[in-house]
Amino acid sequence: MNTEYHHNFHSSALDKKKVNSFLKLQTLSKFSTQRLLCRVEQTSANRQARLLHGSPPTDRKMAFNGAWKIDRNENYEKFMETMGVNIMKRKLGAHDNLKITIQQDGNKFLVKESSNFRTIDIEFTLGVSFEYSLADGTELTGSWNMEGNKLVGTFTRKDNGKALTAYREIVGDELVQTYVYEGVEAKRFFKKC
């Protein structure tokens, strides 16, 4: 009987330890959890780049490789309004927590976009046209090209034939994604995570 009591006491103390550990994990901020996940993905992207190229990428074009988390927007809601995105989707889109992971292998790219609304893998080759749907459902066709250290995307909307231009470039420690549609320019700034 004494052994049974000791076993129950020990089990109860162990359960309290597990509960306390769980509660401590739960107190991590959402941001800390996201940063941790980004670091795991960044490590994975770096490992894949080393496997593909035998060493860490030194080519400026390879600077896009890695996981990037949205930090801030500039004129993004106005851009979405010009694109015809309704007010509800604009408000949600401005706070989408977008994270993109880019893997480049020569002229081929794999871009994983993950947000509050969707997760999608986009594969493209520089200079080769492909089809793509924006998060709001707008369908595009076009291609990405490298101009110096900048990725330049030239796309046409399928619904109205109007042009959308996108740029991706590394500025300091940020990935800056610029969109231009009907004369309205917006920027999204990403930090490596």
Give the model's pLDDT for residue 38: 52
Cβ 183 vs Cβ 163: under 8 Å: no
Give the model's pLDDT for residue 51: 41
Give the model's pLDDT for residue 92: 87
**Rounded to 10 degrees, what is the CA torsion of 39, 45, 49, 52?**
140
For the chain, which ranges sit under pLDDT 70?
1-61
Give the model's pLDDT for residue 17: 53
Give the model's pLDDT for residue 135: 87
As a whole number of angstroms, the distance between CA 184 and CA 193 comes to 29
57: which DSSP letter? -
Give the model's pLDDT for residue 94: 86
Give the model's pLDDT for residue 93: 86
Enter the tokens of residue 138. 């707008």
